[in-house]
């Protein structure tokens, strides 16, 4: 690592936080947001998150960059990471079983690897990365093998929507990696997220019955958890990690979060983990280790002192 880079422990903690919290958000959405239309819930989530981020900006006395490149990057991130992908994911999940949705979105690392190879000169695709990603994806398929039902003809639009969402978020990650280093994760998140919140609200007004929303205790608690931890903590950490970790390694969190979601769900429902979950999880972790052996080695082993 270069001068000024964070320590290995900080990066490891950051990756762990992102995986654990995003793994828990699936249960939070399932348990708490059934009484609120999905796009409306997503827009409220981002409005609350934006308010928290704005408070942090004021307390830290941060300044918004005046450069037009910052606002253009914010617009690109908002479009590709928040507003359009969330709309597509909710559209897809309305017509596609959860297991198949998880498998389709697990193509995210492949999209990141492809865009990184084209746009990031220091993150070219390698044989080890390819094999590791294939093994990790195969693990996700094994995990959800019992939940996948062959969709009807009407579901192919939903499947395409989820694949497109994964591709757009992958492109956002690579663009952030390429152009986001000069900017604070807090200010960049606020600008992109607030734009996304407005876009999702407009989409919700046009497509959903907002009047049907019922803000029960579970819905409010879930919304606050998703806004604070599932959005503010994770995205600020994620945007910070982009500056210090290869995009492909960061994208492989998409393989880990479904495993954590299943473990948390099984614990909450007091269900025994199925054999295919344990086998698939082993395949995923092996694939991640294989794809990122050099980077993980540098992360975990102490640096050699100059002789």
Cα–chain center distance at 38: 17
Q: 């086998």: which residue's tokens? A: 279
- Give, for 7, the enclosing helix (H) or strand (E): none
Q: For residue range 255-265, what is the model confidence (pLDDT) as tens digits?
A: 888 888 778 77
Task: Give the tokens for residue 173.
Answer: 């990650």
pLDDT greater than 60 at residue 72: yes
Scored b (16 or more CB within 10 A) or e, 67-99 reads eeebeebbebbbbbbbbbbbbbbbbbbebbbeb
pTM as predicted: 0.81
- Rounded mean pLDDT, 107-118: 88
- Rounded mean pLDDT, 117-139: 82
CB atoms closer than 10 angstroms to residue 25: 21
Name the more confident of 101 and 170.
170
Task: Give the pLDDT band (50/70/90) at residue 2.
Answer: very low
pLDDT greater than 90 at residue 174: yes
What's residue 266's pLDDT?
Answer: 73
What values do phi and psi take at 273, rounded to 5? Answer: -70, 130
- Rounded mean pLDDT, 61-89: 91
Contact 47, 197 (CB under 8 A): yes
pLDDT greater than 70 at residue 84: yes
Q: For residue range 8-17, what is the model confidence (pLDDT) as tens digits?
A: 788 889 989 9
């Amino acid at each position: 690592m270069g001068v000024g880079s964070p320590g290995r422990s900080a990066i490891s903690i950051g990756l762990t936080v992102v995986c654990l919290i995003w793994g828990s958000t699936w249960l939070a959405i399932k348990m708490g947001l059934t009484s609120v239309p999905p796009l409306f819930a997503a827009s409220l989530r981002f409005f609350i998150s934006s308010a928290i981020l704005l408070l942090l900006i004021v307390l830290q006395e941060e300044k918004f960059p005046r450069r037009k490149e910052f606002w253009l990057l914010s617009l690109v991130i908002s479009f590709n990471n928040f507003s359009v992908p969330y709309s597509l994911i909710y559209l897809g999940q309305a017509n596609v079983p959860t297991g198949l949705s998880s498998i389709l979105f697990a193509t995210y690392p492949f999209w990141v690897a492809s865009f990184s190879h084209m746009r990031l000169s220091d993150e070219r695709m390698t044989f080890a990365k390819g094999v590791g990603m294939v093994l990790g994806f195969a693990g996700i398929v094994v995990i959800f093998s019992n939940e996948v039902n062959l969709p009807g003809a009407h579901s192919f639009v939903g499947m395409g929507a989820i694949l497109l969402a994964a591709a757009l978020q992958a492109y956002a990650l690579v663009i952030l990696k390429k152009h986001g280093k000069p900017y604070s994760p807090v200010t960049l998140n606020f600008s992109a997220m607030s734009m996304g919140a407005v876009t999702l609200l407009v989409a919700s007004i046009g497509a959903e019955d907002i009047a049907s929303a019922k803000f029960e205790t579970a819905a409010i608690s879930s919304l606050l958890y998703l806004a604070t931890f599932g959005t503010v903590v994770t995205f600020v950490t994620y945007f910070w990690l982009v500056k210090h970790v290869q995009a492909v390694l960061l994208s492989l969190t998409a393989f880990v979060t479904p495993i954590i979601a299943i473990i948390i769900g099984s614990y909450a429902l007091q269900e025994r983990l199925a054999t295919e979950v344990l086998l698939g999880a082993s395949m995923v972790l092996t694939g991640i280790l294989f794809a990122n052996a050099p980077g993980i080695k540098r992360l975990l082993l102490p640096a050699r002192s100059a002789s």
